[in-house]
Amino acid sequence: MQQISSFEQYQQQYKHSVEKPEEFWAEVAGSFVWTKKWDTVLDWNFTEPKVKWFDGAQCNMSENCLDRHLETKANQTAIIWEPNNPNETFRSLTYKELYEEVCRFANALKKIGITRGDRVCIYLPMIPEAAIAMLACARVGAVHTVVFAGFSSSSLSDRINDCDCKLLITADAVYRGEKKIDLKKIADDALLQTPGIKNCIVYNHRDSPVLMMEGRDIWWTDAVKDCSAENVAEAMQAEDPLFILYTSGSTGKPKGILHTAAGYMVYVAYTFLNVFNYRDKEVFFCTADVGWVTGHSYLVYGPLLNGATTVMFEGIPNYPDHGRFWDVVDKHKVNIFYTAPTAIRSLETYGEAVFKSKDLSSLRVLGTVGEPINEEAWHWYHRNVGKENCPIVDTWWQTETGGVLISPIANVTPLKPAFATLPLPGVQPVLLNETGEEIHGNDVQGNLCIRFPWPGMARTIYGDHNRFHQTYFSTYKNYYFTGDGCRRDEDGYYRITGRVDDVINVSGHRIGTGEVEDAIDEHSLVIETAVVGYPHDIKGQGLYAFVICTGTITDEESLRKEIGKIVAEKIGAFARPDKIQIVAGLPKTRSGKIMRRILRKIAEGDTSNLGDTTTLLDPAVVEQIKAGAL
């Protein structure tokens, strides 16, 4: 694969990718191992929608991540695992070792009856076994769905049932900082409600006591016992599903975003190599959890496809102290560091002290992802972490896009703080106004859409293609609608301004207001809830819940605690509201619709101009809410 090395070359490649997309992507795809080459490069329409890349081809992701590198990189480190507790020893796996572990586990999967197309749920902490399990699924053609280990048992069972998984892979327990999380116990609760699960493989990570259900639960070590370290990868059809990853939207339950074998592979490999300007033998550290799309694309698949060394960090940025990320960078001589703006803002509050005695000179490129980065945090990152020597790539993308769409290319694109800058080759962004017309020219703002397919895009929502169409392709006919607002400045540079729907980005975690409202409504005293986002200094956005209850509440504090607990149980602790205001009523129109615009203003603390309130059923409600605002 050719790496872009100058801005002129980027411009040429971009032009080529727009004029002759099929030629462009066929050339990129040429550097992979294909069991069979494609018949057609692209077949698409955005009306159904139907998108097929490299149709007729056969390939395997695991083979391209592992087998392909064995000749030249067998002894190079593939994964460096840094434990939660820095005093424990770290682990590294070479490409050869990773290959053997994956083959063994793939054989174990086959032995228990997992075959092509079966869905397998992975609920593991940040340990190499998470990557091994993903790669082994890909190897045998099973479709993995990784669930972030911060999700509760009911979120886990919902996901398992939605895509009808046969197998769950989990671990006994994990420490995050000083907190112990008993994953198997959470899994056991989930498995009470998952009739489709036949087996549960348990990795013994902490020697923590667990219950093993006879006939269902198997220790990882027993599963791989006697399994060969060789395995022939299944030749998958280009458009066979590779994985399902659940994400939140404006309404309803989380959506199982489905990515397919060939297009996703080609796209994440290409974007990893170029966005980060990855150079052979470099160490890449992405701080995202494997449970989110960033972990899939740029901790596991992108780096391994490029034969890189990827760091997997089990812990948290503030344990044992606030300098932990920099310890990891120093210890493993990290060259490329990729994190979320929320982590940067949080570390910023501890000042320069966190860098004392840390050698960050190995760093060459920095990246951010997940939410808009404010200029101040950008400069802090650039100055203190990058020592003004490292380009920052502000990468804009989504679970649905599979890989980065708009971002600087490190050392190539002239930077502008807080701007995702320009589209990558193959990506055709447009801004649309409320009535669906394209906004041309520069120094403009609108809703961000993409008008042409790229190989890494999601193909459907598992089991609900109609919802896929409705959510992404119906707001604007013949465009993929991202849900983000965006400004194109006078230089044609893109700056993402944030979601224009009811999705809230809390510390880079994507949360649907509807899901949180549903969870709060489960409290016996709650009648109705409206949740909105508000600007939060560290988290980017916080969650503000307005709640109507029955009767008179005498102890509001306890009620707030109980509500927070319900959200943690139903979704996960990360979705707990920051503020809960008990209100007598919600601002509704005469037709009963909640006017969220007004609630957002109140949550932001900006009540001077609430806009037009004449359509409200009872304007007095607004005054009451304003008076009690937190």
Question: Two tokens at 616?
Answer: 């409200």
Distances (CA, A) of 134 to 429, 507, 537: 31, 25, 35
Cβ proximity to ligand WTA: between 77 and 277 the closer is: 277
> The dihedral of CA 161, 164, 166, 170: what is its sign?
negative
Site for ligand WTA in 236-295 (CB under 6 A): 247, 292-294
Binding to ligand WTA, residues 313-332 (CB under 6 A): none
Q: Does 151 bind ligand WTA (CB under 6 A)?
A: no
188 binds ligand WTA (CB under 6 A): no
Q: How far is the CB of 273 from ligand WTA (least distance, A)?
A: 18
Note whether 484 binds ligand WTA by CB under 6 A.
yes
Contact between 397 and ligand WTA by CB under 6 A: the answer reads yes
Question: Which one, of 437, 427, 418, 247, lies nearest residue 341 by Cα?
Answer: 418
Q: Tell me the C-alpha distance between 401 and 297, whole Å.
A: 11
The residue among 600, 605, 596, 521 whose CA lies nearest residue 616 is 596
- Least distance (Å) between residue 144 CB and ligand WTA: 17
- Judged by beta carbon, residue 367 or residue 425, the one nearer ligand WTA is 367
- DSSP labels, 409-442: PTTTSPP-TT--BSBPTT--EEEE-TTS-B--SS
Closest to 77 (Cα-Cα) out of 276, 336, 284: 284
Looking only at residues 294 through 313 of this chain, which bind ligand WTA when binding is defined by CB under 6 A? 294
Residue spans of beta strands (DSSP E) within 518-565: 526-536, 540-549
Half-sphere exposure of 459 (CA within 13 A, CB side): 23
519 counts as binding ligand WTA under rule CB under 6 A: no
Q: Taking CB under 6 A as the rule, does residue 395 contact ligand WTA?
A: yes
Binding to ligand WTA by residue 471, rule CB under 6 A? no
Check binding of 369 to ligand WTA (CB under 6 A).
yes
The string of DSSP codes covering 208-275 is ------TTTEEEHHHHHTT--S--PPP-EETTSEEEEEEE--SSSSPEEEEEEHHHHHHHHHHHHHHH
Q: Cα separations (Å) of 423 from 397, 448, 602? A: 11, 12, 36
The pair of structure tokens assigned to 64 is 């391209």
Does 339 sit near ligand WTA (CB under 6 A)?
Answer: no
Least Å distance, CB 28 to ligand WTA, is 21
Binder to ligand WTA among 141, 315, 372, 429 (CB under 6 A)? 372
Q: Are 242 and 257 in contact (CB under 8 A)?
A: no
User: Residue 548 to residues 132, 559, 620: CA-CA distances in angstroms?
Assistant: 47, 12, 15
Binds ligand WTA by CB under 6 A, chosen from 172, 394, 515, 517: 394
* Least distance CB 332 / ligand WTA (angstroms): 24
Q: Classify burial at 518, counting beta carbons within 10 Å of its beta carbon; exposed 0-12, middle 13-18, buried 19 or more.
A: middle
**How far apart are CB 539 and ligand WTA at their closest, in Å?**
13
State how far the Cα of 601 lies from the Cα of 447, in Å rounded to an integer. Answer: 21
Q: Of the listed pieces 189-197, 302-310, 367-375, 541-549, which binds ligand WTA according to CB under 6 A?
A: 367-375
Please, are residues 196 and 161 in contact by the beta-carbon 8 Å criterion? yes
- Measured distance CA(137)–CA(141) in Å, rounded: 6
- Name the minimum Å distance from CB 111 to ligand WTA: 35
What residues between 419 and 438 interact with ligand WTA by CB under 6 A? 420
For the CB of residue 420, give the shortest distance to ligand WTA in the complex, in Å.
5
Question: Which stretch in 57-65, 162-170, 392-400, 580-588 sits in contact with ligand WTA by CB under 6 A?
Answer: 392-400
List 241, 403, 429, 483, residue binding ligand WTA (CB under 6 A): 483
The distance of closest approach from Cβ of residue 96 to ligand WTA in the complex, given in angstroms and rounded to an integer, is: 31
Site string for ligand WTA, 495-514 (x = CB under 6 A): -x--x-----x----x----
Q: How many amino acids of this chain bind ligand WTA (CB under 6 A)? A: 22
Query: In the bound complex, what is the minimum distance in angstroms from residue 257's beta carbon to ligand WTA?
Result: 8
Q: Which residues bind ligand WTA (CB under 6 A)?
A: 247, 292-294, 369-372, 394-399, 420, 482-484, 496, 499, 505, 510
